[in-house]
Amino acid sequence: QVQLVESGGGLVQAGGTLRLSCAASRSIDSIKTMGWYREAPGKQREMVAIITNGGSTNYADSVQGRFTISRDNAKNTVDLQMNSLKPEDTAVYYCHALTWNLNYWGRGTQVTVSS
C-alpha cells in the first residue's frame, strides 16, 4: 500500500509555469509506473504523463513538449513541470501509482490557468 500527497497547484496566468510534486509514503523503487492524471469539470479523468521505474515516459498529445515528468526514487517523489500553461490545462491533477496491479491515487491538487 502507498499513500500519495500532491502539492504545488494554484492559479497562474496563461503562458505561466507551475511545478507539481507528489510525495509517496514509502519507497517508490518497486513501483512500476507512476504518473499524473487530470480531471476537468464535466470531463473524464485523463492521463497527462507517466513514468516507469526504468525512466521511460509517455505524455498526452496535448501536453507533449510543454510538460515534463520526473521521479526521484531517493526522495520518493514524482514531479510534473508544467510550462506554457493554457486555460484548457485547468483541472484537478491527481498523482497515480500502479504496483502489483493495484491503483493508488492522491486526493488531487487544483490547477487553474486564467486567460
Per-residue pLDDT of the chain (115 residues; tens, 9 = 90+): 999 999 999 999 999 999 999 999 999 999 999 999 999 999 999 999 999 999 999 999 999 999 999 999 999 999 999 999 999 999 999 999 998 889 999 999 999 999 9
Q: What Cα–Cα distance (Å) separates residue 15 from each residue in 11, 48, 71, 111?
A: 12, 18, 24, 13
CA distance 54 to 32: 8
For residue 114, give the C-alpha cell.
486564467
Give the model's pLDDT for residue 23: 98
**Burial readout 70-104 (b: 16 or more C-beta within 10 A, e: otherwise):** ebeeeebbbbbbbeebeeebbbbbbbbbebeeeeb
Give the model's pLDDT for residue 21: 98
The set of residues, in sequence order, having a beta carbon less than 8 Å from that of 14 and lying 6+ positions away, is 85, 86, 87, 113, 114, 115
Give the model's pLDDT for residue 20: 98
Nearest to 77 by CA among 95, 64, 93, 59: 95
Residues 59, 48 contacting (CB under 8 angstroms): yes
CA distance 97 to 99: 6
Q: For residue 80, which amino acid is it?
A: L
Give the model's pLDDT for residue 100: 87
